[in-house]
Structure 1
């Protein structure tokens, strides 16, 4: 099975974290369905041109989160992900992205109101046809 993981070798983010984050997102979003057999560690490492240790760590971390399960001699499968887990993952992903954006704003001496104004302007650009929704600005 081919898994659409994009690696940025120029990123400061560790390789295992890039792979783990993307694989988690694919599982939680339902793009990789429950019960899907994932590639073997060796096969996946080969397709991503990384070490088997990197993929082993990704699989172990996601198994510890309950997103994967390994059956000895059979392989690694996607576990069932409940609606609550999906919702929480989505919320956390957006919250982390917003926190990162605010940190960048602070690092370039943007004030609270400037960050808020820029955020609202960005929302309006991304959702141009949602004028009827409540708008805090």
Structure 2
């Protein structure tokens, strides 16, 4: 199974952090459900063009968080994530994104009213009312 993770050597973020953040998000969002077998450390490192040490660190960090479990001789699997934890993660992720957007608005000296207008314009563009009614996610449209 190919895990949809994108890494960039040009990013200011360390490669292990890029991988860990994306893998954590895939697990919390349910896109990698409980019991999913992840690639071996060696396979994943080769696929992403990074070192085995990088993937080992990601797997260990996520295992320490309880998101992964490793069975000797069998592999590394996505652990069970409770519905309440998943919901909390979803809400916290959106709150963090809003916090970052508000910080940016303050840095470029947008007023509260301008910020609300920009938010509503973006909401209408990327999450129109019809899509919300249909249960469609307002994901990545351009």
- 2:111 corresponds to: 111
Give ranges in structure 2 of 5+ residues lacking alignment: 134-142
- 2:43 corresponds to: 43
DSSP-derived class of the 1:110 partner: coil
Give the TM-score, by structure 1 length. 0.85
Pairwise mapping of residues 2-13 of structure 1 onto structure 2 (< 5 A)?
2-13=2-13
Distance 1:69 1:76 in 2: 6
Give the TM-score, by structure 2 length. 0.83
**Cα pair distance change 1:108/1:2, threshold 3 Å:** same
- 1:121 corresponds to: 121
Cα offset, 1:108, TM superposition:
1.4
- 1:99 corresponds to: 99
Cα offset, 1:129, TM superposition:
3.0
Distance 1:128 1:39 in 2: 37
Of residues 38-47 and 9-18 in structure 1, the stretch that sits farther from structure 2 once superposed is 9-18
DSSP-derived class of the 1:76 partner: strand
Distance 2:24 2:127 in 1: 27
Distance 1:17 1:86 in 2: 21
- How many residues matched? 131
- 1:30 corresponds to: 30
- 1:65 corresponds to: 65
Question: What's the C-alpha RMSD, in Å, of the aligned pairs?
Answer: 1.8
